[in-house]
């Protein structure tokens, strides 16, 4: 898909601020710094739409981006930022769960993990949580530019074996750095929601 018009809609800190239209919401979930905001920018082909940061743990609101008046990309705060206090981390966790359990328009969860590492404990907890919501989900093994091209397929398979041995979810590699696999990801999204 080629996006023509993408714009920031709102930063929400509570459910009453979520957009109240019925556009489908595609939500980015993943640990802090895994590349959620960059993923949005890469797919819509705009450098600065979603705020990215090399310093993790910055986003504490839920940012909604209107894409061609067809759907929202929803940028959630990342979990598992080790420099945050336990209390602060729990706050972020319940914030994420509040959105995932109360928004009525979630059409797809895009769950980002890092292709270089085994899923963290928090990744596994999030995966289990997503599984229980029954919402459609695809898993993106991000930062594929950080490993040899010849290892990419093997690593993606490996991660699926660990997180999703039933193999009922789609796992895809991705790299915002090199802007590769973008077509495959759009296709996977469009297989699930009609855009």
State which residue, 21 or 88, has the beta carbon closest to ligand GDP.
88
What is the SS3 assignment for 5?
coil
- Show contacts with ligand GDP in window 111-150 (CB under 6 A): 142-143, 145-146
115: tokens are 């292709």
Kindly tell me which residue out of 26, 28, 35, 37 binds Mg ion, with binding defined by CB under 5 A.
Answer: 37
37 binds ligand GDP (CB under 6 A): yes
Asked if 83 is part of the footprint of ligand GDP (rule: CB under 6 A), the reply reads no
Radius of gyration of the chain (CA): 16
Report the residue number whose CB is nearest to ligand GDP: 35
Q: Give the interface size with ligand GDP as a residue count (CB under 6 A).
A: 20
Our finding on whether 36 is near ligand GDP (CB under 6 A) is yes
Q: How far is the CB of 111 from ligand GDP (least distance, A)?
A: 12
Residues sharing a CB contact under 8 Å with residue 156, sequence separation 6 or more, in sequence order: 115, 141, 171, 172, 173
The structure tokens listed for 140 are: 């993106």
Q: How far is the CB of 53 from Mg ion (least distance, A)?
A: 7
Sole residue written with tokens 């980002």:
112
54 token code pair: 């090399």
The pair of three-digit structure tokens given for residue 51, joined into one six-digit string:
């705020």
Tell me the C-alpha distance between 180 and 46, whole Å.
Answer: 15
For residues 38 and 103, what is the distance between their CA atoms, to the nearest angstrom? Answer: 23
Tell me the angle at which helices 121-133 and 86-102 cross, rounded to the nearest 10 degrees: 20
The least CB distance from residue 32 to ligand GDP, in Å, is: 5
Q: Are 50 and 63 in contact (CB under 8 A)?
A: yes
Q: Which does 133 bind (CB under 5 to 8 A by kind): Mg ion, ligand GDP, none?
A: none
- Binding string, 166-195, against ligand GDP, x = CB under 6 A? ---------xxx------------------
Residues 54-93 that bind Mg ion (CB under 5 A): 59
Q: Which residues of the shown chain bind ligand GDP in the complex (CB under 6 A)?
A: 30, 32-38, 52-54, 56, 78, 142-143, 145-146, 175-177
């Amino acid at each position: 898909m080629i996006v023509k018009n993408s714009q920031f809609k709102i930063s929400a800190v509570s459910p009453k601020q979520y957009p109240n239209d019925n556009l489908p919401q595609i939500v980015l979930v993943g640990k802090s710094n895994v590349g959620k905001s960059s993923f949005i920018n890469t797919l819509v082909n705009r450098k600065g739409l979603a705020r990215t940061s090399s310093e993790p743990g910055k986003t504490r609101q839920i940012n909604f981006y209107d894409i061609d008046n067809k759907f929202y990309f929803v940028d959630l705060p990342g979990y598992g930022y080790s420099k945050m206090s336990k209390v602060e981390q729990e706050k972020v966790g319940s914030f994420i769960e509040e959105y995932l359990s109360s928004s009525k328009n979630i059409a797809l969860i895009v769950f980002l993990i890092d292709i270089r590492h085994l899923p963290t404990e928090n990744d596994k907890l999030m995966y289990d949580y997503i599984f229980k919501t029954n919402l459609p989900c695809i898993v993106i093994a991000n930062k594929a530019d950080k490993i040899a091209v010849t290892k990419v397929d093997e690593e993606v398979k490996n991660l699926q074996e660990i997180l999703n041995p039933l193999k009922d979810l789609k796992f895809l590699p991705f790299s915002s750095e090199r802007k590769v696999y973008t077509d495959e990801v759009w296709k996977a999204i469009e297989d699930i929601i009609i855009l």
